[in-house]
């Protein structure tokens, strides 16, 4: 069973932040060489830990796919790439995911293996990714603030992070929701999000896009001094 991990790292102090920024270049090859790793990506993030055009130089992320949860845990605990990130970071948090449904492509491939069922047990993880066409950057980013404000009003939203491969152009969001109904209500009935999706389809904002939904398997570490999924996972 394929397992997907997203590891978040917060870096304090200028020296550590400069180190983290440099790893966007220098850790790419070592990351790909980790035994058993599949698809992998390094991300920067937006300010206010949301989908935002201004970069946050204190938070970075690593996404990876693995052949099993046991192998993922071993490599994240023991491999030098992750050890260095933890050593430089002030706090870190990793979430372990099992793909349930995935649509679209990322760098021309389908990186996530969909599960046998389209229904993910709750809570659920959601990842969206898009490469925005240069001619539509203004319209795309103009829609972001209203969507972000709408998201913060959702009580069932457990966690969210806006990430980027290439600033402003290649964007990723990851969120965790307590229940599928609330997530779907936001996706399809929230006016700002619904209108943005409609415009993206009609006006063809994206060169490439992907949507994936996941079961939450486990989480390790802390974020903002807490365990973000503790309450949601305790309800399972």
> For residue 195, is it within any domain?
yes
The domain tally of the chain equals 1
Q: Which structural domain, as residue segments, surrounds residue 29? A: 3-231
pLDDT at site 51: 60
> For residue 236, is it within any domain?
no
| HEC string for the chain | CCEEEEEEEECCCHHHHHHHHHHHHHCHHHHHCCCCCCCEEEEEEEHHHCCCCCEEEEEEEEEEEECCHHHHHHHHHHCHHHHHHHHHCCEEEEEEEEEEEEEECECCECCCCCCCCCCCCCCEEEEEEEEECHHHHHHHHHHHHHHHHHHHCCCCEEEEEEEEEECCCEEEEEEEECCHHHHHHHHHHCHHHHHHHHHHHHHCCEEEEEEEEEEEEEEEECECCECCCHHHHHCC
The closest of 206, 183, 190, 195 to 132, measured between CA atoms, is 206
What is the C-alpha separation between 8 and 93, in angstroms, rounded?
A: 5
**Which residues, listed in sequence order, are joined to residue 164 by a DSSP beta bridge?**
44, 171
pLDDT at site 167: 78
pLDDT at site 184: 75
Q: Is the pTM of this model over 0.85?
A: yes
The pLDDT tens digits for 99-115 are 999 999 999 999 999 76
* Angle value at C-alpha 162, between 110 and 118, nearest 5 degrees: 40
What is the CATH classification number for the domain harbouring 219?
3.30.70.100
Query: What does each C-alpha distance from 55 to 49, 167, 216 come to in angstroms?
Result: 10, 8, 27
The pLDDT tens digits for 123-167 are 899 999 988 877 766 776 666 655 555 555 556 888 989 898 887
Residues lower than pLDDT 50 in the chain = 192
End-to-end CA distance of the chain: 21
> For residue 156, is it within any domain?
yes
What is the C-alpha separation between 55 and 89, in angstroms, rounded?
A: 17
């Amino acid at each position: 069973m394929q397992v997907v991990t997203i590891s978040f790292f917060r870096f304090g102090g200028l020296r550590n932040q400069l180190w983290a920024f440099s790893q966007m270049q220098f850790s790419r090859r070592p990351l790909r060489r980790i035994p058993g790793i599949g698809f992998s990506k390094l991300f920067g993030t937006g300010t206010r830990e949301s989908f935002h055009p201004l970069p946050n130089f204190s938070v970075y992320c690593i996404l990876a796919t693995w052949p099993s949860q046991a192998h993922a845990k071993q490599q994240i605990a023991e491999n030098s790439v992750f050890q260095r990130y933890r050593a430089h970071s002030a706090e870190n948090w990793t979430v372990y995911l099992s793909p349930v449904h995935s649509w679209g492509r990322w760098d021309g491939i389908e990186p996530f293996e969909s599960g046998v069922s389209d229904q993910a047990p709750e809570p659920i993880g959601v990842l969206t990714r898009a490469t925005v066409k240069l001619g539509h950057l203004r319209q795309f980013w103009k829609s972001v603030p209203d969507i972000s404000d709408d998201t913060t009003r959702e009580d069932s939203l457990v966690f969210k992070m806006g990430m980027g491969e290439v600033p402003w152009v290649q964007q990723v969001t990851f969120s965790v929701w307590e229940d599928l109904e609330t997530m779907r209500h936001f996706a399809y009935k929230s006016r700002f999000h619904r209108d943005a999706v409609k415009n993206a389809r009609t006006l063809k904002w994206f060169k490439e896009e992907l949507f994936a939904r996941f079961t939450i398997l486990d989480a390790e570490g802390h974020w903002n001094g807490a365990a973000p999924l503790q309450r949601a996972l305790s309800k399972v």
